[in-house]
Amino acid sequence: MNIEWQTPSAHSRRSFLKGLGTAAVTTAAAQAEAVAAELEKANAERTVGPGPVPVTLKVNGEQLKLLLEPRVTLLDALRNYSSLTGAKEGCDRASCGACTVLLGDLPIYACQKLAVEAQGQEITTVEGLAKEGKLTKVQQAFLEKDALMCGYCTPGFVMSVTALLKQNPHPTAADVKRACAGNLCRCGTQPRVLEAALSAAGIAAHRTTNTEVVNA
Amino acid sequence: MPEWPAQNKYIGQPTTRVDAAPKLTGRARYSSDIQADGWLYGMILRSKWPAAKILSVNFDKARSFPGVKAVALARETPFTVRYYGEEIAAVAATSKQACLDALHALQVTAEPSERFVVREDDARKEGSPQVWEGVTNAPTPRERKTGDVDAAFAECAAVIEGFYTTPVQIHHPMETHGSTVSWTEEGVTSWASTQGISSVRDGLAGSLKLDHSKVRVVTDYMGGGFGAKFGAGVEGVLSARLSREAKAPVRLMLTRFDQALAVGNRPSSFQKIKLGAAADGTLRAFEMENYGTAGIGAGAASEGGGGGADLPAPYLYKVPNTRVKQTAVAVNAGSARAFRAPGNPPASYGMESAMDDLAVKLGMDPVELRLKNDPSPIRQREFALGAARFGWKQKYRKPGSSPGVVKTGVGCAGAAWPAGGASRQTQGEAQINPDGSIEFRLGVQDIGTGTKTVIAVVAAELLGLKPEQITVKVGDTDFPPGPGSGGSTTCASISPTVYDVCTKALQQMQTQSGLADVRAENWFAACKKLGVNPLVVHGQWQPGLSSDHACGVQFAEVAVDTETGLVTVIKVVAVHDCGLIIDKLTLESQINGGVIMGMGYALYEERVMDDLSGVVLNPNFETYKLPGIADVPEIDVVLINMPERGVIGIGEPATVPTAAAIANAVANALGVRVSSLPITPAKVLAALGKVPATTA
């Protein structure tokens, strides 16, 4: 049997309805088309795309002027249309947190926000934290505690912890765990992320790991 | 014979990662961050059928889309695909969105087949669909024998039998596989997310019929591999072909979905074990029949070890009478690849579970049973150290005797990593500049283990400088060659190499500067005497500074909720040795990482396939669960420093015993064994007889 691989976009809504092929459906379809036309007219001035449209993003205090299709996510806008590749793509479906950036003070998954929707808001990526090359307290704590290995998830964790400490300068271990619940790491840096976050908050010596060297 | 210095300023101390700042600020450019001039986006169309003949792919519509610059077939049509997710074709376009549109517009004409099989049990049956036409799915098991097993079992005071199973585990590095490839008249440059720049170059040169001298592979930063990222890969070759057609660099990184299907996994295991001992606990007889699947293949060969389904058995222990039968079963699923300590975590799980079951039957303490039968003096010491540190004597009680709804339990297990050692061909060079700055160049790659930091620590120690004064460059096939990052060999390969470079550098500097001691505070004065030209010194791996055979034992304490079936790991004590410790800080991180990955294997991770459709049901992070920050236990690491053994790698041994120790702790808590990983709440409740068991 030879079959054609028909993909979703091969069908338009119209051809789908046509396929059903009864008078009743035709009537319903006509009504639906009319409603759609009305809506389209009402929204005309608010509708953009599907072609590229000018988008202005305020990232790390600077204006980023881009020409993007409205379906481009904030993550793709940063990584593929600017040189800001600090936010990483690990899943592109809101489950790994490697793309975490700040929208105002709020940590968000950049893969789940359209770039057009992020206009007019202050966006901070990991590149925007260290001023004049000086690491922030959070970054410095990550460095000292070795809260990174391959480092691919690290920008996401740094942003989640940065957002937490802005909102709550004296977090508990449970607060840190909650704040980083949306960030995955495969190398296994989690215990040291916890230590780094608390250390950055000036909370002494919360240790989830401990090491002793015994000489042979 | 060269020797490591007896007194060290940096070696063995904690040194922070030399590339931490670029990674923490977003300056580090990973393979997936490369934005070569005029780069295009690439994507792969994969089979939605577990078995089909691909007759043709019509690219006309896709080609007509604006932005689509190149298309490529995975292979010449007609061809057969043997698993859900196998590559069919690829496109390159000016944006991800254009690629997605183009993939939707590809028209594939295929003959799907109903003849596929994804369950190991089904694949072994007579008349099962054959994954490879005319070849049996399950070859006759290979058999190894020592002594007389049947006679020995007859004389044992205690014999246990168990059926211990482990799932297919997916590597899932946070950065997916892929690369940016630029193919011009001058040759091919691949910025690859890889553990082996040399093997990628070899693979690309072979596939593209190019001289090695025309292929350069660069890996400045990459986001994890765990054994799955050695070769050029279908995706690497496709991006090269797309680049040639489009006359532009193509970045083709896999999606998370792709990652779960086509670029490697740890084979499953189904271990039927029979173990017998004399009344004093001395092991007398061991029998095992094991099968597992490596998907459609026996696994891609790699420097990290094979991806086959065979296990080392009876693993750590000396048993005089053994019979072991093993076979790999082909199913319609993506091929296995080397995965952190190939074969060892499942071998540890099976054997160490059997050991604990036997200890219960003998009425012996599980640690005592191990001490009785483990021939390794290092592990003997580690068991003793770990038991004391963990408080084993106070915590261990009769299985199932923990009171209340939430029961606690303890368990232990051992590790061996007989591979390891070093790549003796490793080379490196240092460029010493007249201003005293120094740059080391080695053709290895840092996959997150701290390779760059190890180079800086060793060089700083031997030259009398500080690690931050050493510039380290790796990840470029233009540099002197080094090994792929596999088999826990990198540290033991590069440390002696850097030692040799430094020794030769000091000799040449003495000659050129006329100074008797050019180290430390004399360094800059000596360098000034070089004049205008820098000094480049070449070195290579030397014997006597590294060895192999790391051991390791781990103890786990768990709490199991007998109403919900949820297992919480409270604490892990990990006792490990890796010869001479180079950087204590990054070493601890490796052990934490091994424990956490082992915990995922014990409790959460499993590739789930639907036997009716042949589809992988959990090709994402929502349904393929990794340990999160809230799941991670307290980790207590004990390191035995053995400078006399030289440098040994640690990445793999650190993950070997964790799952077994956790599984034994769960059995100790419940008084019954869950003999199948991952130990999910459903399996715990089934073991307690609270819900019916489901077929795996």
Nearest to B583 by CA among A176, A118, A146: A146
Question: Do A213 and B12 lie within an 8 Å CB cutoff?
Answer: yes
Does position B226 have pLDDT exceeding 80, yes or no?
A: yes
Average pLDDT over residues A23-45: 74
What's residue B159's pLDDT? 98
Q: Are B427 and B469 within one domain?
A: yes
Higher pLDDT, B349 or B309: B349
pLDDT at position B533, please? 95
Q: For residues B608 and B675, state if they share a domain.
A: yes
Domain that holds residue B449: 422-540
pLDDT at position A206 is: 63
Q: What is the mean pLDDT of residues B168-179?
A: 98
pLDDT at B695: 58
CA-wise closest residue to B326 among B353, B301, B352, B298: B298
**Does B112 touch chain A if contact means CB atoms closer than 8 Å?**
yes
- Give the domain-ending residue among B506, B540, B574: B540
Residue B490 and residue B629 share a domain: no
Q: Is residue B29 part of a domain?
A: no
With an 8 Å Cβ cutoff, are B108 and A5 in contact? Answer: yes
pLDDT band at B98 (very low <50, low <70, confident <90, very high): very high
Run of H or E including A12: none
CB-CB under 8 Å, A158 with B30: no
Nearest by CB: B638 against A146, A148, A212: A212
Residues B357 and B381 in one domain: yes
Name the 3-class secondary structure at A58: strand
Pairing of β B269-277 and β B250-253: unpaired
**Residue B541 corresponds to which tokens in the numbers above?**
């791996």
Name the residue among B28, B628, B639 with its Cβ closest to that of A213.
B639
Among B487, B516, B540, identify where a domain stops: B540
**B593 Cβ under 8 Å from any chain A Cβ:** yes
Are B602 and B629 contained in the same domain? yes
B296: left (phi over 0), alpha (psi -120 to 50) or beta: alpha
Contact B629 A180 (CB under 8 A): yes
Structural domain count, chain B:
3
* CB of B576 closer than 8 Å to CB of B439: no
- Nearest chain B Cα to A148, which residue? B20
Q: Which domains are present in chain A? A: 53-127 (3.10.20.30), 137-200 (1.10.150.120)
Answer yes or no: do B404 and B426 share one domain.
no
pLDDT, chain B, mean: 96
Q: What are the structure tokens assigned to B526, written together?
A: 């000596």
- Choose among A71, A142, A216: nearest Cβ to B24: A142
Q: Provide the percentage of residues in chain B whose pLDDT is more than 90.
A: 95
Are residue B350 and residue B457 in the same domain, yes or no? no
Q: Which residues of A touch B593 (CB under 8 A)?
A: 149, 187-189
Identity of the amino acid at B518: V
Which burial class, exposed, middle or buried, applies to A195 when counting CB atoms under 10 A from its CB (0-12, 13-18, 19+)? buried
Residue pairs spanning A and B at CB distance below 8 A: 246
Convert the pLDDT of each residue in A35-50 to its tens digit: 888 877 777 767 788 8
pLDDT at B125 over 60: yes
**pLDDT band for position B521 (50/70/90)?**
very high
- Closest by alpha carbon to B569, among A208, A96, A194, A147? A208
User: B644 contacts in A (CB within 8 Å)?
Assistant: 216
For position B59, which CATH number holds? 3.30.365.10
| pLDDT band at A165; cut points 50, 70, 90 | very high
B296 and B372 together in one domain = yes
Q: Determine the 3-state secondary structure of B430 from DSSP.
A: strand
**Two structure tokens written together for B678:** 């991952």
Average pLDDT score over chain A: 87
pLDDT of the residue at A24: 58
Would the pTM of this model clear 0.90, i.e. be above it? yes
- Do the domain assignments include residue B131? no
The interface predicted TM-score (ipTM) is: 0.97
pLDDT digits (tens, 9 = 90+) for B457-513: 999 999 999 999 999 999 999 999 999 999 999 999 999 999 999 999 999 999 999
A131: buried, middle or exposed (CB in 10 Å: 19+, 13-18, 0-12)? exposed
Q: Does residue B633 have a cis bond before it (omega within 30 degrees)?
A: no
User: Where a domain ends, among B489, B511, B540?
Assistant: B540
Look at the block and give the residue holding tokens 């795309």. A49
> Same domain, yes or no, for B525 and B668?
no
Closest chain B C-alpha to A96 CA, distance in angstroms: 7
Q: Which amino acid does the sequence have at A34?
A: A
CA-based nearest distance A114→chain B, Å: 13
Instruction: Please judge whether A90 and B96 are an interchain contact, meaning their C-beta atoms are less than 8 angstroms apart.
Output: no
> Chain A residues with CB inside 8 Å of B620's CB?
91, 93, 95
Pair type for strands B567-577 and B438-442: unpaired
Strands B187-192 and B178-184: antiparallel
Which of A69, A146, A153 lies closest to B585 in CB terms?
A: A146
pLDDT-based confidence at B693, cuts 50/70/90?
confident
**B154 found inside a domain:** no
Rounded Cα–Cα distance for residues B304 and B115 (Å): 33
What is the arithmetic mean of pLDDT over B187-191?
Answer: 98
Per-residue pLDDT band at B298 (split at 50, 70, 90): low
**DSSP collapsed to 3 states, B47-109:** CCCCCEEEEEEECHHHHHCCCEEEEEECCCCCEEECCCCCEEEEEEECCHHHHHHHHHHCEEE
Q: Is B147 inside a domain boundary?
A: no
Q: Is residue B7 over pLDDT 70?
A: yes
Other CB atoms within 10 A of residue B363 CB = 10
| Sign of the alpha-carbon dihedral angle for B308, B309, B314, B320 | negative
Does B239 map to a domain?
yes
Across B668-696, average pLDDT: 93
Q: Where are the beta strands (DSSP E) in A60-190?
A: 62-68, 100-103, 106-109, 122-124
- The pLDDT, as a whole number, for residue A215 is 81
Are the C-beta atoms of A188 and A136 separated by less than 8 Å? no
What does the DSSP 8-state code read for residue B176? P
Q: What is the pLDDT of residues A187-206, one digit of tens each?
A: 999 999 999 999 999 997 66
Question: Higher confidence at residue A132 or residue B83?
Answer: B83
Average of pLDDT values for B103-110?
98
Residue A151 reports pLDDT greater than 90: yes
Helix (H, G, I), strand (E, B) or coil at A76: helix
State the Cα–Cα distance between residues B543 and B184, nearest whole angstrom.
42
Residues belonging to chain B: 696
Section A6-23 average pLDDT: 45
Search chain A and give the residue with CA nearest B47.
A5
Asked whether residue B633 is assigned to any structural domain, the reply reads: yes
One domain, residues B83 and B216: yes
Q: Which tens digits make up the pLDDT trace of B310-327? A: 899 999 999 999 999 999
Query: Does residue B552 lie in a domain region?
Result: yes
Report the candidate in B62, B71, B67, B66 with the shortest Cα–Cα distance to residue B95. B67
Q: Per-residue pLDDT tens for B359-400? A: 999 999 999 999 999 999 999 999 999 999 999 999 999 999
B511-535 burial by CB neighbour count: b if 16+ within 10 A, else e? ebbeeeebbeebbeebbeebeeebb
Same domain? B375 vs B455: no
Residue B14 lies in a domain: no
B104 in contact with A, Cβ within 8 Å: yes
Predicted local confidence at residue A26, as pLDDT = 61
Let me know whether B73 and B187 are in one domain: yes
List pLDDT tens digits, range B332-347: 999 999 999 999 999 9
